[in-house]
Homo-oligomer: A and B are copies of this chain.
Amino acid sequence: MKHWHDECGVVGIWNDVEASRLTYLGLYALQHRGQEAAGIVTLDQGIHHRHLGLGLVAEVFTEADLDRLQGPAAIGHVRYSTAGQNSLINAQPLTAELYSGAIAVAHNGNIVNGEALRRELIYNGAIFQGSNDTESLLHLIAKHPCEDTISCLEETLPRLQGAYSLLILTKDRLIAARDPYGFRPLVLGQRANASGERSWVLASETCVFDLIGAKYVREIEPGEIFWIDAAGEHSVKLKKTGRLARCIFEHVYFARPDSLVFGLSVYESRKRLGQIVAREHPVEADLVTPVPDSGVPAAIGYSEESGLPFELGIIRNHYVGRTFIEPQQSIRSFGVKIKLNPLTEVLRGKRVVVVDDSLVRGTTSKKLISLIRHAGAKEVHVRISAPPTIAPCFYGVDTPQKEELIASQKSIEEIRKFLEADSLEYLSLEGLHHALGDETGFCSACFDDQYPC
């Protein structure tokens, strides 16, 4: 069920005359990572062109906008505005005219010491236009005396604490950088442009490559500064500052199921989460149904492991948009019903396993379970394909405060009672890590309260 918002997605293109169009398509494929604003900056013979707007990618750009965005290199950004101020002034990429030339920055992540940096910069006379962290980075670069952007980044990036996957477009380079923890994904691909030359693609997820026909090359490594210029590819590494901490939640909920993230298939991860929760928490029942769309792969995994038949017992209305006029008099569980409709013909008289990917406040799930019972289900067994969410994220995922997270306040049995489910079980932390190959190097702070920095 949708209740988390990743802040952003980024795309970069180098060496294709259709750079703005390819970036647009890439942002389209990353729309799930941010629906509040979108922007593209292109590089056209040393000059930057920019177009930003509020809304979905398809709303922000017209054909004429893309035509104006001339030039063979581009970076783009989609954003979920965390700060409540859904203003264009915070839309990215940010641009500035520095002494060393024009610069544009697109940022996915969250800088933990962003507010402190901002206060320090304002004290020293910097003027901020918006309220996002990325602007602090721009000021750090602007104030730094060195003329070369790479050396400048090598010296300023270590001042940023937290999560960042950055794309930077200067007057002659496309730069990608990822924090040493590797919180947020960033991948490199290649394709041939219309002249048959090599063109580079950088993106938050590999689904971008599938859409524009690029080949996946590799991840940008944690702590790497990678760039492309007229002379080709280059890379330097920042000094290592901590352990690897790739966001496990990208696999649990964020990323598109058709992406590779941190080298692993998201769809396969989710199916395994469902299989393992089935193994950990079997139940006698008649059928398994996902909470669509995000719960589908885990429900398929649960069905496969348990042998219980998979049914689409809850139908999702995909026409539900961002704005919706509610009835004035209460319709029972209206907020859930407008999106999800349990299927009486499938559920009536059945013992049902409902598979979802997470529980945040629990209020929506409570209503959904009530609708499922109303549709005639005899028993409702909830299985969450992740451990209880007990701690907020400080690295770029928009989560509620700790007090609002039901699992940080109540025991599983208390939550079950609140939901009025016949049973409720979560995946174990071990099961979660097992599903991702028992690799260390993940941040699962939202599930275990262990913050990497």
How far apart sit A282 and B141, CA to CA, in the bound complex (Å)?
A: 64
| B337 with A211: CB separation less than 8 A | yes
Instruction: Name the interface residues of A29-69: CB closer than 8 Å to any CB of B.
Output: 29, 31-32, 35, 56-59, 61-63, 66
| B99 with A61: CB separation less than 8 A | no
Mark interface residues in A295-317 (1 if CB within 8 Å of B CB, else 0): 01100100110000111100101
| B315 with A96: CB separation less than 8 A | no
Given A127-B138, A257-B343, A310-B300, decide whether A28 and B331 contact each other with a Cβ distance below 8 A: no
Mark interface residues in A395-415 (1 if CB within 8 Å of B CB, else 0): 000000000000000000000
Q: Does A115 contact B (CB under 8 A)?
A: no
Q: Does A97 contact B (CB under 8 A)?
A: yes
Copies in the complex: 4
Given A265-B345, A315-B257, decide whether A327 and B122 contact each other with a Cβ distance below 8 A: no
Mark interface residues in A210-221 (1 if CB within 8 Å of B CB, else 0): 111100000000
Instruction: Closest B residue to A59 by CB, please name it.
Output: B321
Instruction: Closest B residue to A324 by CB, please name it.
Output: B58
How far apart sit A57 and B320, CA to CA, in the bound complex (Å)?
A: 10
| B319 with A56: CB separation less than 8 A | yes
Q: Does A177 contact B (CB under 8 A)?
A: no
For the complex formed, measure the closest distance between the CB of A248 and the CB atoms of chain B, giving whole angstroms: 18
Instruction: Name the interface residues of A97-149: CB closer than 8 Å to any CB of B.
Output: 97-99, 122-123, 125-129, 138-139, 142-144
Q: Does A346 contact B (CB under 8 A)?
A: yes
| B143 with A341: CB separation less than 8 A | no
| B317 with A309: CB separation less than 8 A | no
Q: Does A183 contact B (CB under 8 A)?
A: no
How far apart sit A218 and B323, CA to CA, in the bound complex (Å)?
A: 33
> Which of B18, B122, B143 is close to A329, meaning CB atoms less than 8 Å apart?
B18
Q: Does A207 contact B (CB under 8 A)?
A: yes
Given A258-B341, A337-B211, decide whether A319 and B32 contact each other with a Cβ distance below 8 A: yes
Instruction: Closest B residue to A119 by CB, please name it.
Output: B99
Q: Does A293 contact B (CB under 8 A)?
A: yes
| B267 with A345: CB separation less than 8 A | yes
Given A28-B319, A341-B207, decide whether A21 and B61 contact each other with a Cβ distance below 8 A: no
| B127 with A317: CB separation less than 8 A | no
Interface contacts beyond A126-B142, A207-B341: sample of 6 additional A-B pairs, CB < 8 Å, sorted by A: A25-B331, A127-B139, A129-B129, A211-B337, A258-B315, A296-B312
For the complex formed, measure the closest distance between the CB of A369 and the CB atoms of chain B, giving whole angstroms: 16
7 shortest A-B CB distances, which residue pairs? Answer: A265-B345, A125-B143, A258-B315, A31-B319, A96-B127, A125-B142, A258-B341
| A318 with B293: CB separation less than 8 A | yes
How far apart sit A296 and B290, CA to CA, in the bound complex (Å)?
A: 13
Chain B neighbourhood of A143, CB < 8 A: 125
Instruction: Closest B residue to A322 by CB, please name it.
Output: B58
For the complex formed, measure the closest distance between the CB of A76 and the CB atoms of chain B, giving whole angstroms: 13
| B211 with A325: CB separation less than 8 A | no
Q: Does A328 contact B (CB under 8 A)?
A: yes
Chain B neighbourhood of A303, CB < 8 A: 310
Q: Does A153 contact B (CB under 8 A)?
A: no
| B210 with A337: CB separation less than 8 A | yes
Q: Does A429 contact B (CB under 8 A)?
A: no
Interface centre among A32, A61, A341, by most B CB within 10 Å? A341
| B139 with A328: CB separation less than 8 A | no
Chain B neighbourhood of A300, CB < 8 A: 310-312
| A338 with B28: CB separation less than 8 A | yes
| B18 with A328: CB separation less than 8 A | yes
For the complex formed, measure the closest distance between the CB of A302 and the CB atoms of chain B, giving whole angstroms: 12
Chain B neighbourhood of A14, CB < 8 A: none
How far apart sit A363 and B260, CA to CA, in the bound complex (Å)?
A: 29
